[in-house]
Structure 1
Amino acid sequence: MIKKPVPRSRLRLMLGKTYYTWRRYARWLVDGTSFAKSFSQKKLPHVVFQHETPTLRKLKDVDMWLQHNKEINLSIAIKCLNGLLIQPGETMSYWKLIGKTTTRKGYVPGMILFYGDFKPGVGGGLCQLSNLIYWMTLHTPLAVVERHRHSYDVFPDSKRTQPFGSGATCAYNYLDLMIANPTTTCYQLHLELKDHMLRGEWRADTRALHSYEIYEQRHRIEQQHWGGYVRRNVLHRRVFNQVGELVNDEFITENNALMMYSPLLTESVGDA
């Protein structure tokens, strides 16, 4: 059961954000994590997984200028991540690499999800990039050591190609996406934005030993006692060896999100 959301004051929101931001800075300094920071534009020889998503989508009540601004923000952030090498024992921190999104760096107002709604915010739209990286990582032996799910399901499904809850929300710097390399293989992240498509791939210096299939279980929509609806599911992945034999079935995560639209709406309302 999810309680009915209670609006928080601006002061409480500001204090909470400040506290968690500085706690993250402290963690970066003292927790002993070996962060990935080396880059190479020479591609490693083996593609482990690749994926692409469109950057311009018509969303209900969302002006398209926010989508075009998102492309500007994505282009800037990609430059901070493209070619990143994650050596064995290293960890990638999404925000440690990108840094704070400011107008001085060229970021512009884009769409930011905010307590079940959306608003313009400098650097908005970078969740599409963290979503892409998280989804690709689930198809590799890399370990997701920090990921934050979306607390709200804001837009109805339309032409969805991935299971509900397979993304990773982000907010500088306290909602981070951190990916560790527990293997003996070096991995490399490649990203590009071209023809209104965000493309990415994980590459490696050795051939992949396994492939992965992500699927959902127990997908359901439940009405709460106070009238709202909550959407839930559980994500798993099947692991196959090089000859296609199933060798494992792993739990990934459980998702619970407060729906901000009627569950009876049709797909024609807007694109997710």
Structure 2
Amino acid sequence: MSGASGNLKPVRRSRLRRLAGKRYFTLKRYLRWIISPGKRATARTMENLPFEAASHETPLLRRLRNVDMQLQYNKIVNLRLAIAKLDGLLIRPGETFSYWRSIGKPTKRKGYLEGMVLYYGGFRPGTGGGLCQLSNLIYWMALHTPLTVTERHRHSYDVFPDEQRTQPFGSGATCAYNYLDLQLYNPTDYTYQLRLNLDDTHLHGEWRCDGRQLYSYEIYEADHVIHMEPWGGYVRSNRIRRKVYTRSGELAGDEEVAENHALMMYSPLLHPPAAAGPQAMADE
């Protein structure tokens, strides 16, 4: 996709160009890991830290038009494998969490199956598909903590209508090994712990901490707009903001955390935006 935020237009690239681009960015990321490894979060413990900082859950299955449900059943297998690498992870003061460095490359050899992968405004099967649900969950919970988001990516396409979407548009974090990563930095004096698990219906997550949080957070959407481009397509834009409250309930801050622009792959006239709420969001 090309153009500025208000002038998005799909770009058709050859298969060779796409493969070359993916290889370039993958190798670039590997090189960065070698040259600038940073202070990475690697320690884990299965003993809960004493205080809950944030929690959330999202449904495992969502019926989507023209999408084989088997891909979503496979996604559950993929989530279980990734959770085994992340559950209990500690982010100590000054450390950085990297989604992909913690999980590793999802391959068939490791047991990952073909799940749904969004691809240039559509979807296709891909090994490890569905792990965006996990990165979405971790990112959304992190917005309710003092953890700093140092890398986060958003889909350039808005593929599915707002039906069943109960969080603001653009409040997720897409991932693609290894060049589209989710990274969180701990600027506090406390240690944070990531807890994750699956039950029969939902993916559950929690950030825990060894100290009680000084603030609480409210995430909301601002400046939502849908506009038609000169070439005939629709672009959807918004800003994700958060209000920061003290323990006594006083407003301590109101800050922008993300700006989103995406090419809509459905008619906005047929599917008006639904009201956003604090409940679960299905994976994108």
Which interval holds the TM-score relative to the shorter structure?
A: over 0.9
Q: In the alignment, is residue 11 of structure 1 matched against residue 16 of structure 2? A: yes
Point out where structure 2 has 5 or more consecutive residues left out of the alignment.
1-5, 273-281
**Residues 117-150 of structure 1, C-alpha deviations (whole Å, 9 max, x = no match):** 0000000000000000000000000000000011
- Structure 2 distance, partners of 1:189, 1:23, is 28
Q: In the alignment, is residue 177 of structure 1 matched against residue 182 of structure 2? A: yes
- Among 125, 130, 151, the alignment partner of 1:125 is 130
Q: In the alignment, is residue 235 of structure 1 matched against residue 243 of structure 2? A: no
Letter in 1 for 2:9: K
Deviation at 1:113, TM superposition (A): 0.2
Task: Give the structure-2-normalised TM-score.
Answer: 0.93
Q: In the alignment, is residue 65 of structure 1 matched against residue 70 of structure 2? A: yes
Using the TM superposition, name which of 202-211 and 152-161 deviates more. 152-161
**Residues 16-39 of structure 1, C-alpha deviations (whole Å, 9 max, x = no match):** 111111111111111241110000
Residues 1:58 and 1:142: Cα distance change in structure 2 (over 3 Å): same
**Residues 128-173 of structure 1, C-alpha deviations (whole Å, 9 max, x = no match):** 0000000000000000000001110000001322111000000000
Deviation at 1:61, TM superposition (A): 1.1
Letter in 1 for 2:17: R
Q: In the alignment, is residue 46 of structure 1 matched against residue 51 of structure 2? A: yes
- Structure 1 distance, partners of 2:271, 2:234, is 16
Find the counterpart in structure 2 of residue 112 from structure 1.
117
Deviation at 1:231, TM superposition (A): 0.5
The answer as to whether partners of 2:9 and 2:263 remain within 8 angstroms in 1 is no
- Structure 2 distance, partners of 1:85, 1:128, is 21
- Structure 2 distance, partners of 1:125, 1:197, is 14
- Structure 2 distance, partners of 1:207, 1:4, is 46
In structure 1, the residue corresponding to 2:222 is in which secondary structure?
Answer: strand
Letter in 1 for 2:192: Y
Find the counterpart in structure 2 of residue 22 from structure 1.
27
The answer as to whether partners of 1:156 and 1:271 remain within 8 angstroms in 2 is no
Matches within 5 A, 1:1-272: 1-266=6-271
Residues 1:271 and 1:86: Cα distance change in structure 2 (over 3 Å): closer
In structure 1, the residue corresponding to 2:145 is in which secondary structure?
Answer: coil
- Structure 2 distance, partners of 1:131, 1:266, is 23
- Structure 1 distance, partners of 2:90, 2:22, is 30
- Structure 1 distance, partners of 2:108, 2:102, is 17
- Structure 2 distance, partners of 1:188, 1:6, is 41
Deviation at 1:7, TM superposition (A): 1.1
Count of residue pairs the alignment pairs up: 270
Deviation at 1:196, TM superposition (A): 2.0
In structure 1, the residue corresponding to 2:244 is in which secondary structure?
Answer: strand
Identity %: 61
The answer as to whether partners of 1:212 and 1:239 remain within 8 angstroms in 2 is yes
In structure 2, the residue corresponding to 1:201 is in which secondary structure?
Answer: strand
Point out where structure 1 has 5 or more consecutive residues left out of the alignment.
none
Residues 1:222 and 1:123: Cα distance change in structure 2 (over 3 Å): same
- Structure 1 distance, partners of 2:182, 2:24, is 19
- Structure 2 distance, partners of 1:242, 1:32, is 36
